[in-house]
Amino acid sequence: MQMRRRTNFILGLIWLLVGLAMAGHALGLLPPAAYDIFLRSWPALLVLTGIVFLLRGRLPGPLPGLIGIAASVALIAGLTPLAYSSRADQPLTAVQESISQPIAPGVGLLRVRVNTLTTDVELVRSVDEGDAPTINGVFMGGADSRLLIDYLPLDDGSATLTIAESRGEPLPMLASIGRGNLRLEIPGTLPLDVDFSGEVGSLTVNLSNTALERLNVNLGRGDAIVTLPIHEPLLSGRDDSLGTLAIRDGDMTLFVPDDVSARLDIDLRGSGVEPEYDPTKYNFLFDRVLEARAIDTAEAVVNYALIVPRGRVRLEVPEAS
């Protein structure tokens, strides 16, 4: 009879925790993501109950209940990260939003600021710009994804477009784990200052045939492909840095047109992996600078800093068509 009372205590504790979780959800005190984990983890309660009954009478005192609780906690703690990681690359389509932002006439510099979370991003030149320059795009994300779009014209003749992704809940639900997608088409007729920051996701920046003045990239994890245009910035000198391209955990492929000479200051953070490049067109100096052989006589010169501590850098020079 004494062992039965201990068993009933464990079962009572289980139902108490279930009731508290349901009450917390009903009153809005339990985050939706935590309640989602609770609903998906209820089979662990069966494990707890089964262990208690199997070990009843075989182990003294409260050991059956303690072992059952420890096993259930370990099961939930092990399977929860596995469930989240298994969905890390799943495409998210619950939220779909179109972007169409006209640019006011007379803008002398368009600043584009893009900030994403776990999203694959494409930044490309507009194919059909029409009569008035417009930034068009499509965003797809999870059910709790939010997209802030803010266009701000300034008195100095420039304008700033900010596109920032956020989540409604700090702890996302399992169904909202995965990869979003953002494609943004940028006018090529305006001088551009592009700044991208992302946590996780692949990045494609193809700004061929644009008037790119500056470019900054800060990607936490993922691979990046960046294509520079045939354009010498008008708002910077030949020796000025035009930005930093940082890929914290991933590979970078950089396409520089044959008509443009680049000087790339590469920070590999001691990885020891030398960049891949064509030695007939570029020199690798001081174990950190890739410099075009024709830089002294080139008409168009660009300077960028590259930070790629955990991946490879590949420089491609497409032949002029």
Distance CA 4, CA 19 (A): 22
105 contacts 142 by C-beta, under 8 angstroms: no
Q: Tell me the C-alpha distance between 267 and 236, whole Å.
A: 23
Tally the residues of the chain: 321
Provide long-range contacts, Cβ within 8 A and 24+ apart, for 293-297.
294/261, 295/261, 295/262, 295/263
Tens of each residue's pLDDT in the chain, 321 residues: 444 444 456 666 666 667 776 776 666 666 666 666 666 666 666 666 666 666 566 656 666 666 666 666 665 566 556 545 655 578 788 889 999 999 988 899 999 999 999 999 999 998 766 667 899 999 999 888 889 999 999 988 999 999 999 987 666 665 667 789 999 999 988 999 999 999 999 999 999 999 999 999 999 999 999 999 999 898 888 889 999 999 999 999 999 999 999 999 999 876 668 899 999 999 999 888 999 999 988 888 999 999 999 999 999 998 765
pTM, rounded to two decimals? 0.77
